[in-house]
Amino acid sequence: MNRNQDPRIALMDFLRAIPINLRIDEYLFIIIMCVGSDAPDDLEDFEPMVQKYLSRSGYAGLGAVICTKAVLEYRLKDILLKLESAEKNIRAIMDMNPEFTQHPLLSMPLKKKQYAQVLDRWRTLLNGPLSDGNIAYFEGNPQDLPPVTT
Protein backbone atom coordinates (compact mmCIF):
# COMPACT_ATOMS: atom_id res chain seq x y z
CA MET A 1 0.00 0.00 0.00
CA ASN A 2 1.21 3.54 0.59
CA ARG A 3 2.13 5.64 3.59
CA ASN A 4 -1.43 6.89 3.96
CA GLN A 5 -3.58 5.05 6.48
CA ASP A 6 -6.85 3.49 5.38
CA PRO A 7 -9.47 5.58 7.21
CA ARG A 8 -12.05 2.77 7.00
CA ILE A 9 -9.88 0.40 9.00
CA ALA A 10 -8.97 3.15 11.46
CA LEU A 11 -12.68 3.87 12.04
CA MET A 12 -13.52 0.19 12.54
CA ASP A 13 -10.65 -0.20 15.01
CA PHE A 14 -11.72 2.97 16.82
CA LEU A 15 -15.32 1.80 17.12
CA ARG A 16 -14.29 -1.65 18.37
CA ALA A 17 -12.16 -0.02 21.09
CA ILE A 18 -15.07 1.97 22.52
CA PRO A 19 -16.45 0.30 25.68
CA ILE A 20 -19.48 -1.81 24.79
CA ASN A 21 -21.87 0.24 26.96
CA LEU A 22 -21.08 3.29 24.78
CA ARG A 23 -20.34 1.53 21.49
CA ILE A 24 -23.89 0.32 20.89
CA ASP A 25 -25.17 3.92 20.86
CA GLU A 26 -22.50 4.99 18.38
CA TYR A 27 -23.27 2.03 16.11
CA LEU A 28 -26.98 2.83 16.31
CA PHE A 29 -26.48 6.41 15.12
CA ILE A 30 -24.19 5.30 12.28
CA ILE A 31 -26.76 2.71 11.18
CA ILE A 32 -29.62 5.18 11.24
CA MET A 33 -27.84 8.24 9.85
CA CYS A 34 -25.28 6.75 7.46
CA VAL A 35 -26.32 3.25 6.48
CA GLY A 36 -29.87 4.53 6.22
CA SER A 37 -31.68 1.50 7.49
CA ASP A 38 -33.55 0.49 10.58
CA ALA A 39 -31.48 -0.87 13.40
CA PRO A 40 -31.45 -4.65 13.64
CA ASP A 41 -33.39 -6.21 16.49
CA ASP A 42 -30.33 -8.06 17.73
CA LEU A 43 -27.56 -5.86 19.17
CA GLU A 44 -25.03 -8.45 17.97
CA ASP A 45 -25.87 -7.43 14.40
CA PHE A 46 -24.91 -3.76 14.87
CA GLU A 47 -21.15 -4.20 14.46
CA PRO A 48 -21.31 -6.40 11.35
CA MET A 49 -23.73 -3.94 9.72
CA VAL A 50 -21.42 -0.98 10.34
CA GLN A 51 -18.38 -3.02 9.35
CA LYS A 52 -20.01 -3.99 6.05
CA TYR A 53 -20.89 -0.35 5.42
CA LEU A 54 -17.32 0.83 6.08
CA SER A 55 -15.79 -2.03 4.07
CA ARG A 56 -16.96 -0.77 0.70
CA SER A 57 -14.31 0.06 -1.86
CA GLY A 58 -13.41 3.21 -3.75
CA TYR A 59 -15.59 6.29 -3.54
CA ALA A 60 -18.39 4.39 -1.78
CA GLY A 61 -15.94 3.51 0.99
CA LEU A 62 -14.68 7.07 1.14
CA GLY A 63 -18.26 8.34 1.36
CA ALA A 64 -18.90 5.91 4.21
CA VAL A 65 -15.85 7.31 6.02
CA ILE A 66 -16.94 10.92 5.53
CA CYS A 67 -20.48 10.23 6.73
CA THR A 68 -19.33 8.16 9.73
CA LYS A 69 -16.77 10.81 10.65
CA ALA A 70 -19.47 13.51 10.53
CA VAL A 71 -21.87 11.49 12.70
CA LEU A 72 -19.20 10.70 15.28
CA GLU A 73 -17.97 14.29 15.29
CA TYR A 74 -21.53 15.45 15.92
CA ARG A 75 -22.09 12.83 18.62
CA LEU A 76 -18.79 13.44 20.43
CA LYS A 77 -18.89 17.22 20.23
CA ASP A 78 -19.24 18.56 23.75
CA ILE A 79 -20.07 15.08 25.09
CA LEU A 80 -18.52 15.79 28.49
CA LEU A 81 -20.57 18.97 28.84
CA LYS A 82 -23.68 17.04 27.80
CA LEU A 83 -22.95 14.43 30.47
CA GLU A 84 -22.52 17.15 33.10
CA SER A 85 -25.88 18.59 32.11
CA ALA A 86 -27.50 15.16 32.19
CA GLU A 87 -26.08 14.55 35.66
CA LYS A 88 -27.57 17.82 36.92
CA ASN A 89 -30.93 16.92 35.39
CA ILE A 90 -30.87 13.47 36.98
CA ARG A 91 -30.08 15.01 40.36
CA ALA A 92 -33.00 17.42 39.96
CA ILE A 93 -35.35 14.55 39.12
CA MET A 94 -34.10 12.62 42.14
CA ASP A 95 -34.68 15.65 44.37
CA MET A 96 -38.27 15.87 43.13
CA ASN A 97 -38.86 12.12 43.22
CA PRO A 98 -36.74 10.24 45.79
CA GLU A 99 -38.02 6.92 44.45
CA PHE A 100 -36.41 7.56 41.07
CA THR A 101 -33.69 4.98 40.44
CA GLN A 102 -30.15 6.09 41.21
CA HIS A 103 -28.64 3.84 38.52
CA PRO A 104 -28.14 6.60 35.90
CA LEU A 105 -26.43 8.78 38.47
CA LEU A 106 -24.25 5.98 39.78
CA SER A 107 -23.04 5.08 36.30
CA MET A 108 -22.19 8.69 35.36
CA PRO A 109 -18.59 8.83 36.71
CA LEU A 110 -17.61 5.74 34.72
CA LYS A 111 -19.36 7.03 31.61
CA LYS A 112 -17.51 10.37 31.89
CA LYS A 113 -14.17 8.61 32.29
CA GLN A 114 -14.85 6.31 29.35
CA TYR A 115 -15.93 9.17 27.08
CA ALA A 116 -12.83 11.18 28.06
CA GLN A 117 -10.70 8.26 26.86
CA VAL A 118 -12.78 7.92 23.69
CA LEU A 119 -12.30 11.64 22.99
CA ASP A 120 -8.52 11.32 23.36
CA ARG A 121 -8.46 8.50 20.81
CA TRP A 122 -10.86 10.43 18.54
CA ARG A 123 -8.60 13.50 18.49
CA THR A 124 -5.64 11.30 17.57
CA LEU A 125 -7.65 9.79 14.73
CA LEU A 126 -8.65 13.25 13.45
CA ASN A 127 -4.97 14.15 13.19
CA GLY A 128 -4.07 10.88 11.45
CA PRO A 129 -6.21 8.58 9.34
CA LEU A 130 -9.26 10.88 9.48
CA SER A 131 -7.34 14.06 8.75
CA ASP A 132 -8.47 16.13 5.79
CA GLY A 133 -5.14 15.46 4.09
CA ASN A 134 -5.45 11.70 4.41
CA ILE A 135 -9.04 11.73 3.19
CA ALA A 136 -8.04 14.00 0.28
CA TYR A 137 -5.34 11.48 -0.67
CA PHE A 138 -7.93 8.71 -0.97
CA GLU A 139 -10.31 11.02 -2.82
CA GLY A 140 -7.64 11.33 -5.49
CA ASN A 141 -6.68 7.66 -5.28
CA PRO A 142 -9.87 5.65 -4.74
CA GLN A 143 -8.16 2.56 -6.15
CA ASP A 144 -6.19 2.47 -2.88
CA LEU A 145 -9.43 1.65 -1.05
CA PRO A 146 -10.04 -1.97 -2.06
CA PRO A 147 -12.80 -3.95 -0.30
CA VAL A 148 -11.85 -4.51 3.32
CA THR A 149 -11.70 -8.09 4.51
CA THR A 150 -11.47 -8.63 8.24
Domain boundaries of the chain, sorted by first residue: 7-78+121-144
pTM above 0.85, yes or no: yes
Q: What is the pLDDT of residue 4?
A: 76
What is the CB neighbour count within 10 angstroms for residue 63?
A: 13
Give dist(CA 130, CA 133) in Å, integer: 8
Give dist(CA 61, CA 46) in Å, integer: 18
Give dist(CA 141, CA 51) in Å, integer: 22
Exposed e or buried b for every residue in 111-120, given b needs 16+ CB within 10 A? Answer: beebbeebee
Q: What is the pLDDT of residue 2?
A: 46
Each of the 150 residues of the chain gets a pLDDT tens digit; together they read: 446 799 999 999 999 999 999 999 999 999 999 999 898 999 999 999 999 999 999 999 999 999 999 999 999 999 999 999 999 998 898 888 888 888 888 888 999 999 999 999 999 999 999 999 999 999 998 888 888 876
